[in-house]
A and B are shown apart, each in its own frame.
Chain A
Amino acid sequence: MHARLAHWIAGIALAGGVASEGAWAQTTDDLFDASKLHEIRLSINSRDLTQLRAQYDQNTFYPADLVWRGIRVRNVGVRSRGFGSRNPVKLGLTIEMDRYTSGQQFLGLSSLVLDNLWQDPSMLRQFLAMGFLRRTGLAAPRESFTRVYINNTYQGLYAIVEDIDAAFVARWTGDAEGTLFEYHWRFPYSGEDLKELSAYAAIFEPRTHVRDPVTTLWGPIQDLFQSVNDPDDATWRSRVDRFLDLEQFVTQAAVENYVAENDGLLGYAGMDNFYLYRPSGDTRHRVFPRDKDNAFLQPDFAPFEGVDANHVMRRALAEPDLRALHASVLARCAEVDRNEQWLRAEVERAVAVIRAAAHADPLKPVGNDQFDAAADELRDFGRRCSEFVTQSMLRLFEPQVSSFRLPVDLTSSGRQSERGGNGELALAL
């Protein structure tokens, strides 16, 4: 009798374990595993969905349930997102896990972005650009691809994008207590001194510490851009260094230049698509990249494009070591592409994962032929870009430069360190 009871108990426990293993064993690494095509299902009340599509230009949240690999997250908040990509047909979505339920997380994430890949016929540009940024050791959101269903209707291929929030910052910097700002493009801004705190408040939206006083939030940002525009060249470096990690800024700008990002830190219409972060107890800001749908614009994108127009970069590159750093990062990016065929390999891997889902995407704004053609273009982008940048750098620096110290982690062979790199590498052109 006892043996039979024990047998039943063991059987029940085993069944329970198997049933729940799939849900509990998952991590963000699984969610952002780009080697697999994921599937996310959202349930949204039909009235809310109608409203969401009708008012796609607003940031109103609607309640929803999210299901991924058998994990159901209830009571999440969903809203339309995007700037140029925002549309009522294939909705770009931001999902906040704790919008309605305090402290709720999904695999440790409190928010998630479902990028509708609307502006990029290849659907790959942002994925590749962020991957390349991480390959260079810079902090950049992780991404993977997913089929998205809303109320059991296929909405097409989306990218799951790690949201830049306190958890993201903590993962890359080890500091979870600082103040994170999302930059909003309101007008062409290239780092001028805007004079008023309110002007900075209009473009730098705090994502953490939102209730801090105005002077606490935007005072250091005002100090930063006042320093950037200080006419005294002799003290410029030391003054700006107090408010901005110049090496990190220059490095990110250089990589963005390499991947032909025309809408980033040195964008065609001023700075755009970045977050600004100020560590706790410090005034030294750093930047994080976002939205790279417009990267890989053209292989012969000038490696110094946008430098002169940007008040930070123009003055920074007047400093010999920062100018050398910029050049070294560009050269090393070219080397990575040349030696590893990084971009081609990534394109091949990603296309294998997404092609069927992209072809079946009923809401994408381009045809399947255009998708295939755009992916083909990217296959060859790395080689051509690498050659162009290398030649450009050689023309500029060959007489003077033999080696640089490179403060970014390009040493690993394709695997990014979890916390970002801080190693150094001697570079020979």
Chain B
Amino acid sequence: MYVNVAARRDLQVQAGQFKLPFGLDENASSTKLNFVTRTLLSTPLTPGRDRGVMVHGRLLKRVVRYELGLFDHDGRNARTDNPERVFAGRTAVARLRAAPLTQAKGTLGRLAEDLLVGFAFTQVSVPEGVPAVRGRTVLDAPFFASRYYVDGRRLRTGVELRWRPGPFSVESEYVRLATERRGEGVEDQDLSPLVATAWYMAGTWAVTGERKTRGLDTPRRPFLQGGPGALELAVRTEAIAFRSGARGEPLSMRPRAEVIRGNRNHATTAGANWYLNRWIKLQANIVFERLDDAELGPRPPMRVFWSRLLRTQVTL
């Protein structure tokens, strides 16, 4: 629940409970997802919703979009296992996105008017405790536990890209989340930060020819009305990794290890989206996941997981 006051196009104020402006996939509506699940990086590394205030707007003839916000905490996604614990303190967020070719003319303009590139960061002070950043597979099974103590600044940086020429779309993101461990060594010394990095690259193709920028949820020829609906094929490859900043020592799972026993998950998803009409959407995905350290995974020594997902979406 939030209120947005749009006094001017270049200066708007939004206040209430809403998603922090960080993460392309995380900020997409759940009805607009190209896959059954969000990306591996969305939930663990992006903040999600929280209470705060944000100024935002568009500048330079809508070429540049900015969002600056201040929030109570680090977002719902950063909750620890212990519901009594707060999830970090006041969080500052900044996001800057640009559509550099939105004013271009001719073929270039037609092809690239939707090209969007962006950069975002969040900064927050995390109290002493576990980091509340956990690695989970596509089906939410843990492969990296949140057992390492942190204390200090948490910095997220993200880079995003989206391009939707005609019936195609390409999306990509890279997120890095680093959390300091001040005074967390066994001799009260600072430890190297805990670092989580993730990226994905996804592409779609509307086989039935709809333009992606207009959305496929209103098919040109709906199903049972003389047409097949809108059919879209999608593929995504992504990875998320957890490690410590330092290297060179044996890996350890102790909460105060300088070099932690991290893990990495690499997933590839292929799928199809069938928009029957403006109300009904069917999605089918097949997911292949591979863990670097199977012993930390949900079913050791199983390293590779195949998943099949189906989703029916009804929108009124």
State the A residues within 8 Å of B (CB): 43-48, 63-65, 74-75, 77, 99-102, 104, 151
- A46, A47, A77, A100 interface centre (most CB from chain B within 10 Å): A100
Contact, CB under 8 Å: B252 / A75: yes
A247 to B305, CA, bound (A): 54
Name the segment of B21-29, B58-66, B75-83, B183-191 touching the other chain: B183-191
Contact, CB under 8 Å: B185 / A45: yes
The answer, among B128, B188, B257, for a CB contact under 8 Å with A75, is B257
A63-B256, A63-B257, A75-B257 known; A45 vs B251 contact (CB < 8 Å) = no
Interface string of B246-261 (1 = CB under 8 A from A): 0001111111110000
The minimal Cβ–Cβ distance linking A105 to chain B, given in whole angstroms, is: 12
Known: A63-B186, A99-B254, A100-B255. 18 other contacts (CB 8 A): A45-B183, A45-B184, A45-B186, A45-B187, A45-B256, A46-B188, A48-B256, A63-B255, A63-B256, A65-B187, A74-B249, A75-B257, A100-B252, A100-B253, A100-B254, A100-B257, A101-B252, A102-B295
Total count of chain B residues near the partner, CB < 8 A: 17
A213 to B143, CA, bound (A): 26
Q: Tell me how many residue pairs across A and B have CB atoms closer than 8 Å.
A: 45
Cβ-closest chain A residue relative to B256 = A63
Please give, as numbers and ranges, the residues of chain B lying within 8 Å of A77 by CB-CB distance: 254
Please give, as numbers and ranges, the residues of chain A lying within 8 Å of B256 by CB-CB distance: 45, 48, 63
Cβ-closest chain B residue relative to A152 = B187
The answer, among A63, A99, A101, for a CB contact under 8 Å with B251, is A101
The minimal Cβ–Cβ distance linking B183 to chain A, given in whole angstroms, is: 8
Contact, CB under 8 Å: A74 / B188: no
Interface of B is mostly: loop
Contact, CB under 8 Å: B252 / A74: yes
The minimal Cβ–Cβ distance linking B194 to chain A, given in whole angstroms, is: 15
The minimal Cβ–Cβ distance linking A42 to chain B, given in whole angstroms, is: 8
Interface of A is mostly: mixed
Contact, CB under 8 Å: A101 / B186: no
A75-B252, A101-B251 known; A43 vs B186 contact (CB < 8 Å) = yes
A357 to B128, CA, bound (A): 37
Please give, as numbers and ranges, the residues of chain B lying within 8 Å of A64 by CB-CB distance: 186
Interface string of B223-254 (1 = CB under 8 A from A): 00000000000000000000000000111111
A57 to B48, CA, bound (A): 40
Contact, CB under 8 Å: A45 / B250: no
Please give, as numbers and ranges, the residues of chain A lying within 8 Å of B184 by CB-CB distance: 45
The answer, among A43, A46, A101, for a CB contact under 8 Å with B250, is A101
A-B contact pairs, 22 of them (CB 8 A): A43-B187, A44-B186, A45-B184, A45-B185, A45-B187, A63-B186, A63-B254, A63-B256, A64-B186, A65-B186, A65-B187, A74-B249, A74-B252, A75-B252, A75-B254, A75-B257, A99-B254, A100-B253, A100-B255, A101-B251, A101-B253, A151-B187
The minimal Cβ–Cβ distance linking A8 to chain B, given in whole angstroms, is: 26
A102 to B257, CA, bound (A): 13
Please give, as numbers and ranges, the residues of chain A lying within 8 Å of B255 by CB-CB distance: 63, 100
The minimal Cβ–Cβ distance linking B122 to chain A, given in whole angstroms, is: 26
Contact, CB under 8 Å: B250 / A104: yes
Please give, as numbers and ranges, the residues of chain B lying within 8 Å of A44 by CB-CB distance: 186
The minimal Cβ–Cβ distance linking B10 to chain A, given in whole angstroms, is: 48
The minimal Cβ–Cβ distance linking A183 to chain B, given in whole angstroms, is: 29
